[in-house]
Structure 1
């Protein structure tokens, strides 16, 4: 993100512009706050079904929220069987913070 194009930056800010997506990104900062999974969330990310439950939205809405965050580069997605697990992209978030501090 250090050499981020204006369109990419707009995508990031749009992704952060929805209160639920912003909340999800904050929740993912502490993956242990979600219910236990077969594999530790700290290793594979948080299963979409747990994000959906906490956000109190439908599965399709949760999927759309996570796809938006993923396209913006703010989260990583790991597929395990039929399940999608999400974790924060800490490097991208840190670069975004540095870019904002330096440029805006």
Structure 2
């Protein structure tokens, strides 16, 4: 876990929004055709007012920081929150501050 990478990823409000949307995907991505247990398809974020390039950039940053996991199914990539990394980061942050 790279704390600095995570802090950088969390410093942008859109990435925080993405993490919050992924926390409760049923409320934000009801229309996804694939089961939400697979994760949320990257294309679904465009419905939230984000362009494809913006979505890719933000999801890439969150993935590099370890805050989301990916699953490829054919041509689609599905994203989920990495709850283990998020919990470890919060514990470490609590100890450090």
Same fold (TM over 0.5): yes
Deviations 1:37-87 (A, max 9, x none): 33311x210111112221x12101101100000000000011111111100
Whether 2:68 is the aligned partner of 1:103: answer: no
Whether 2:12 is the aligned partner of 1:18: answer: yes
Secondary structure in structure 2 of the residue aligned to 1:28: helix
Unaligned 5+ segments in structure 1 are 2-7
Unaligned 5+ segments in structure 2 are none
Tell me which stretches of 4 or more aligned residues in structure 1 moved more than 6 Å. none
Q: What residue is the counterpart of 2:51 in the other structure?
A: 58
TM-score if structure 2 supplies the norm length?
Answer: 0.92
RMSD (Å) for aligned C-alpha atoms: 1.1
Deviations 1:81-102 (A, max 9, x none): 1111100000000001100111
